[in-house]
Structure 1
């Protein structure tokens, strides 16, 4: 803490090392000013707003996850209905990954410049427009329109996937951030789980082409209507950033930060506020008059932040290992039918149930691990442990398919989903810790970009292998090998607690 002289502003770095990446501490004017700001942060109104933000965003990302996986459980039927190849149907899923890679940087830039609510609104609009285009493409001769709608919906993902850690950092105190991030990630998986089970139930295998068309059209219409309701809800209830976030942004603009030096602009009368982390403390007596300050993160150029991340060895290791585990999860979700049905025919509904179990068990894992991290802060240990069990589950899955053990596969899919999906929120918080003070939105965005690259690559490789007779075992072995590599890379990451150290 920095002692405060009467009404004197002090600007300094806490460390001389790497000063251009270390947040600046500004001393405040009075206990009364800080008390007022802290009261606004911990007020019931702001608590209500933060949970409204989390609720509205969760609905959006859940609906987008549902649109992503809608066609995977009924891929075989769609091939005949639209008269296209299995590769074309798989691209209805893969397009989500491809567009994310192309648009993650522009969407992250918009998130940083226009703010959280604007980014969520952009995502909601694209999500709704894409859903209606998909509905328009439900006729057998309009596969191109279905694909166009899927492309537009996939653009919404560029805004939503990287938001959980950013939303948690803006709206939630330190001791709730991992849980908030997990819930937001959890919501996307809930949507995917619903999509996995809803598609084969709503569009069952039928011989009559007209009946199949009617069922598919009704499914896509219901999704489009729900997406329209969600964007209206976002317009109405999603709140603007809290007051402390705006103050932090304003103060940052009045600091000239260059090569580790900072100069306060006396021409502006900027009120002081508490360290944002004090927002979680309801006991105001712990705030002393000589400890009023905030932490201001210097705003570097966007490209400079990217360069700093690339130069961070530990982040690059996490980038690869996270991409492998998440890409593997995408591959299994997309190709589950192609992996199982050649070995165990006529089990389309069973595949849908397995996909549902895969995702629901992952939700439980993601939810529990969020609270575990808030309690222990053991990012690396948790990630390595879950990676090991994911590899074991992948081996068991391969053996279950090879020996045609349908009943056992239900349990194995649940185990893989529990451990692999739980790494998603862990990775976001792990990255935020080791890359602070770089924006959580940028680090999360790059992690997701890596996941999409590995997802596309793995789906393409496995799809090509699976198109050959009796090559299911080879495809699954490729998956196991990649997961083993990711586990090793995670093991050698060195944990850096930059964000946590700045808060203490």
Structure 2
């Protein structure tokens, strides 16, 4: 840890080395809250158009596939830009990533204010593309914020709270657009509703951008854990060759690659069902646009509880693989139950089934990210999460476009049946992933520090 020589005083006596201070500062909660807020605003924009597909089709006179691309573009940008973005994050740090993510979200939202006009759908796509780029600098940050600012016994919980921002944004994206943008007879009235939605987003993200610019720090003055002290002492400057070397080692990590595939199956289905919620529900319940939005909301809100509960359980038990496997299995079972209730055409049963499905689908997100971090420690968290989500987004595009085509040609029954099968395959892959807990071995040294009164002071 740092220099190993023994400092000497002028009279030949050995100078006692002052141990480093391990201290978690109160400002860590402000950093987390700022992140949650702008992550919420960014992920809101993922489904803001696709959840009202039929209305957007009428207003802009475009196909359902064109509207689906307002969500699919988020998945496409990841594999294209994830490695350059990961290099920027690793080289320039947490604050730079936060600024790029927040400011790009604000710019994308502002551009869509000028998309109101029946021949201006291309402006919608420009704004969506910029917001999609912002998410590459946003979604990979929760584990990095957690280990940089928080104590070892808070990391999994904080990672879950960071993911909470993404889930909350998705939930609001399902809820608000169907309430705000109505299927009016007059197309100009639809345009007015869209204008209000775009201006509202811009008004909310602007002050948040100023807060991030002035108050979001790179790291705290004191390290919150012994593992972080070791990392600061031994930190190597991130050059392109260092980054590529780290990337190469990750791509040779077989347990990580297996887990990345299984995580991609779960996240890909999450993205697909979010994008296709509107046509899925309308195929069973005619004129139920608002129900589709509310069902998506319930799926995410109940899922938030599952996500936070998972983080708490992981901090207490450190059963990362076991938790991921059980949650994945229950995802597959609850997906099949959702299909069964839709076939019964009972709305209240669909609400119940989609709540259970959402609970486990969202609960897997923090479990999967934390397990990946365990398998790859001490690799940079942003790079690990970037690879994880890049694979997920590629699979999300494949699943969304494939399930959309199946839904249109063969019906929702077959689309959801294949969805359940994909989740079952992901469960099997999770069971085959070796259980390697590298980070826990490093964090085991932090236990002694948590017992020192000084270190508990904020």
TM-score, normalised relative to structure 2:
0.91
Please tell me whether the aligned partners of residues 75 and 396 of structure 2 are also in contact (alpha carbons under 8 angstroms). Answer: yes
Q: Distance in 2 between matches of 1:360 and 1:405?
A: 21
Selected match of 1:318 from 250, 253, 259? 259
Query: For residues 320 and 331 of structure 1, what CA distance do their matches in structure 2 show?
Result: 16
Distance 1:96 1:294, change over 3 A: closer
Q: What's the counterpart of residue 338 of structure 1?
A: 279
State whether residues 173 and 277 of structure 1, in contact with CA within 8 Å, keep that contact through their aligned partners in structure 2. no
2:329 alignment counterpart: 388
From 443, 446, 454, the equivalent of 1:503 is 443
Identify unmatched segments of 5+ residues in structure 1. Answer: 9-27, 246-273, 280-291
CA distance in 1, matches of 2:55, 2:225: 57
- Cα-to-partner distance string for 1:347-369 (whole Å, 9 max, x where unaligned): 11111110000110111011111
Q: What is the CA distance between 1:293 and its match in structure 2?
A: 11
TM-score (normalised: structure 1) = 0.83
Could you tell me whether the CA contact under 8 Å between 2:148 and 2:228 is conserved in 1?
Answer: no
Whether contact under 8 Å (1:56, 1:237) holds in the other structure is: no
d(CA) in 1 for partners of 2:4, 2:406:
67
Equivalent residues in 2 for 1:52-67, closer than 5 Å: 52-67=30-45
Q: In the alignment, does 2:166 pair up with 1:188? A: yes
Q: What is aligned with 1:484?
A: 424
- Matching residue of 1:287: none
Match of 1:301 in 2: 242
Q: What's 1:471 paired with?
A: 411
Q: Report how far residue 296 of structure 1 moved.
A: 2.8
Q: How does 1:98-137 map to 2 (within 5 A)?
A: 98-137=76-115
Following superposition, the deviation at residue 277 of structure 1 comes to: 4.2
When residues 438 and 203 of structure 1 are mapped into structure 2, their CA distance, relative to the original with a 3 A threshold, is: same
TM-superposition CA deviations, 1:435-464 (whole Å, max 9, x none):
111111111111111111111111100111
Cα-Cα RMSD: 2.2
Secondary structure in 1 matching 2:50 = coil
Structural mapping, 1:36-47, within 5 Å: 37-38=20-21, 41-42=22-23, 47=25
Whether 2:173 is the aligned partner of 1:233: answer no
Structure with bigger gyration radius: 1
Aligned residue among 305, 314, 321 for 1:364? 305
Within 5 Å, which residues of 2 pair with 1:93-172?
Answer: 93-172=71-150
**C-alpha separation in 2, matches of 1:132 and 1:106:** 25
Larger helix proportion of the pair: 2
CA deviation vs aligned residue, 1:292-334 (integer Å, no higher than 9, x gap): 9986355671111111111111101110000000110111111
Contact 2:178–2:290 at 8 Å: present in 1 too? Answer: yes
Matched, 1:403 2:403: no
1:379-434 residue CA offsets vs partner (Å, 9 max, x unmatched)? 01100010011001110111122221211110111111110111111111111111
Residue 336 of structure 1 and its aligned partner are, at CA, apart by: 0.9
- Hey, what's the Cα distance between the residues in 2 that align with 1:197 and 1:30? 61
1:29–1:402 Cα change, 3 Å: farther
The 1:451/1:211 distance shift into structure 2, 3 A limit, reads same
Inter-partner Cα distance in structure 1 for 2:213 and 2:2: 42
- For residue 292 of structure 2, give the secondary structure of its aligned residue in structure 1: helix
- Residue range with higher mean Cα deviation, 486-495 or 295-304: 295-304
Instruction: Point out where structure 2 has 5 or more consecutive residues left out of the alignment.
Output: 9-13, 445-458
| 1:82 Cα deviation after fit | 0.5
Aligned equivalent of 1:329, options 260, 265, 270: 270
Residue 214 of structure 2 corresponds to residue 276 of structure 1: no
Q: CA separation in 2, counterparts of 1:79 and 1:223? A: 21
* 1:57/1:351 CA distance change after superposition, 3 Å: same
Which residue of 1 is the match for residue 456 of structure 2? none
Alpha-carbon distance in structure 2 between the residues aligned to 1:278 and 1:168: 11
Residue number in structure 2 paired with 1:262: none
What is the CA-CA distance between 1:2 and the residue it aligns to? Answer: 12
Distance of 2:222 and 2:25 partners within structure 1: 14
Q: Secondary structure at the match of 1:175?
A: helix
Alignment counterpart, residue 455 of structure 1, candidates 379, 384, 396: 396
CA contact (8 A) 2:39 2:138 kept: yes
Match for 1:221 among 191, 194, 199? 199
Match of 1:51 among 16, 26, 29: 29
SS in 1 for 2:46: helix
Mapped to 2, the partners of 1:181 and 1:364 lie a distance apart of 14
| Paired residues, number | 436
Superposed displacement of residue 173, structure 1: 1.5
Contact 1:341 1:348 survives alignment (8 Å): yes
Report the secondary structure of 1:74's partner residue: helix
Give 1:64 shift: 0.4
How far apart, CA to CA, are the structure 2 residues paired with 1:234 and 1:134?
22
Q: Please say if 1:350 is aligned against 2:291.
A: yes
Change (3 A) 1:276 1:354: same
Distance 1:449 1:472 in 2: 27
